[in-house]
């Protein structure tokens, strides 16, 4: 990322205090307690994912299915935290 940019991505912030401040929502969303809360939701989604895979006949794009699955999970994590 260009040094002149006024908005920096979290990964490019070198100041430890600023990095910790900006990381706080991510830590809350993906910490142990939050992940425990996602367990039931994720379990249902995994079952749904497996059922969809079992219904496929012939060749299919597994990467596309995984992309859909992970998108839904990220969406749920964002709104459930």
Indicate the pLDDT class of residue 55, thresholds 50, 70 and 90.
Answer: very high
Q: What's the pLDDT score for residue 3?
A: 55
Of 24 and 3, the structure prediction assigns the larger pLDDT to: 24
Indicate the pLDDT class of residue 63, thresholds 50, 70 and 90.
Answer: very high
Token pair 């989604």: residue: 45
Query: Residue 1: is its pLDDT beyond 50?
Result: no
d(CA 78, CA 24): 13
Indicate the pLDDT class of residue 5, thresholds 50, 70 and 90.
Answer: low
Residue 74 token pair: 């990220």
Residue 11 token pair: 């990964």
pLDDT digits (tens, 9 = 90+) for 8-48: 787 788 889 988 998 888 888 778 888 787 788 888 888 98
Domain boundaries, the chain: 1-30, 31-81
């Amino acid at each position: 990322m260009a040094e002149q940019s006024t908005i920096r991505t979290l990964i490019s912030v070198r100041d430890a205090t600023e990095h910790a401040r900006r990381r706080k929502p991510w830590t809350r969303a993906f910490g142990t307690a939050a992940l425990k809360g996602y367990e039931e939701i994720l379990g249902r989604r995994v079952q749904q994912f497996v059922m969809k895979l079992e219904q496929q006949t012939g060749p299919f794009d597994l990467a596309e299915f995984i992309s859909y699955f992970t998108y839904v999970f990220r969406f749920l994590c964002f709104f459930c935290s």
